[in-house]
Every structure is written in C-alpha cells, then in structure tokens.
C-alpha cells in the first residue's frame, strides 16, 4: 500500500499544494502507515510536517491540528 499512499501524496502536492487540507491528510496517512509498519523514524518527520503546517494555516486549537498533536504524541510514546 505504501506506493499508493505516496502516489496520492505526490499528486496532491502537485495539484493542491503543500498546505491544502487534503494534502495534509495524505501526509498524516502516510505517517500512520510508516508507524504501523514499524518505521517510526520515517513517520516522525511526516507527523511533524503535518503538525507544523496545520498550526500555521489552521491555528493551534483547530481540531485537525489537535489530531496532529495527538498523532505525534502517540508516536513519540512508542519510541
């Protein structure tokens, strides 16, 4: 499934841009896949990327931003 996740992310980056909510959802989905596959060191920068852009574009208290905070915290807890 990883190539499909990357394909979706690449297409969204090209067509929608880095800050679009759909793109950030794909970043988050790829990070979750990496985490689930045991590739935590690859998941962390993706989770951080989604969090940073969401904080900047949506604000620190937006539900999507808080989801990113939670996702990163859960990952760091397992490292």
**Element spanning 56, H or E:** helix 40-58
Check the CA dihedral 64-67-71-73 and report its sign: positive
In this prediction, the residues of the chain whose per-residue pLDDT falls under 70 are none
Instruction: Report the C-alpha gap between 30 and 69 in whole angstroms.
Output: 16
pTM exceeds 0.85 for this model: yes
Give the C-alpha separation, 78 to 64, whole Å: 22
How far is the CA of 48 from the CAs of 9, 44, 58, in angstroms? Answer: 16, 6, 15
pLDDT, residue 79, reads 79
């Amino acid at each position: 499934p990883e190539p499909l996740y990357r394909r979706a992310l690449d297409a969204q980056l090209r067509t929608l841009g880095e800050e679009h909510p759909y793109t950030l959802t794909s970043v988050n989905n790829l990070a979750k896949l990496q985490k689930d596959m045991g590739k935590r060191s690859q998941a962390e920068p993706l989770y951080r990327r989604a969090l940073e852009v969401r904080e900047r574009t949506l604000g620190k208290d937006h539900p999507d931003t808080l989801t990113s905070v939670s996702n990163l915290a859960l990952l760091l807890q397992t490292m």
